Amino acid sequence: MRITGHPVLPDLPADEVGFTFNGEPYTAREGEPVAATLLANGVRQLRVSPVAVEPRGIYCGIGHCYECRVWLNNDTQVRACLTPATEGDSFASERTEE
């Protein structure tokens, strides 16, 4: 789903930051929010809503709706549409008990 060879905009640098989401490895562009990396890899579902038990993904894309929240390194909930990965981060839909 990556856009390359855009007729107006210059190409972006290649993927280089490694992280995992629900245990699966992904490579992100520096500074790109995890939701964008995941969508580029065909992953739309970021979590399951706790009450209705329905899948949720990117909705507003600008940090306003909190639909995209995921767990970062099992200790903080972050908005996947804003938060870039740093090398070695692990993101997950659910928090796991240790």
Partner 1 sequence: MSAEETTEDFDLVVIGGGPAGLTAARDVAAAGGRVMVVDENHAMGGKLRGQLHEDPADSSWWKGWELAEQAEKDAVDAGAQMMTDVVAWGLEPGWTVRLTYPAGRTGGPSQLTSRAVLVATGAVERPMPVAGWTLPGAMTIGAAQVLTNIHRVKPGHRVLVVGMDVLSLTIARAMQLAGVDVVGIVLPPTTVEGSSPRATLSRLAPMAKLAPARYMRLGGHFLGWPWVQALASRLVPRTLRMWGMPLQLRTSLVVIQGTDQVTGAALVNVTADGTPIPGSEREVAVDAVCLANGLIPLNELLATLDCSFLRSPDLGGTVPVHSDTLRTQLDGMYVAGNTIGIESAKIAEKQGALVALSIIDDLGLSSRRGGDAAGAALDLVGARRTMEFQFDANVQRGHDDVQRAWEKSGGRA
Summarize as ranges the residues that interact with partner 1 (CB under 8 A).
1-4, 6-9, 12, 31-33, 36, 39-40, 44-46, 49, 54-64, 67, 72, 75-76, 78-79, 81-84
Instruction: List phi, psi (to 5°) of 37.
Output: -60, -45
Provide the minimum distance between the beta carbon of 97 and partner 1 in the complex, in angstroms, as a whole number: 19
Question: Which of 65-74 are b and which e, b meaning 16 or more Cβ less than 10 Å from the residue's Cβ?
Answer: eebbbbbbee
Q: How far apart are CA 13 and CA 73, in angstroms?
A: 26
Q: Which is nearer to partner 1, 16 or 45 (CB)?
A: 45
Q: Which is nearer to ligand FES, 17 or 81 (CB)?
A: 81
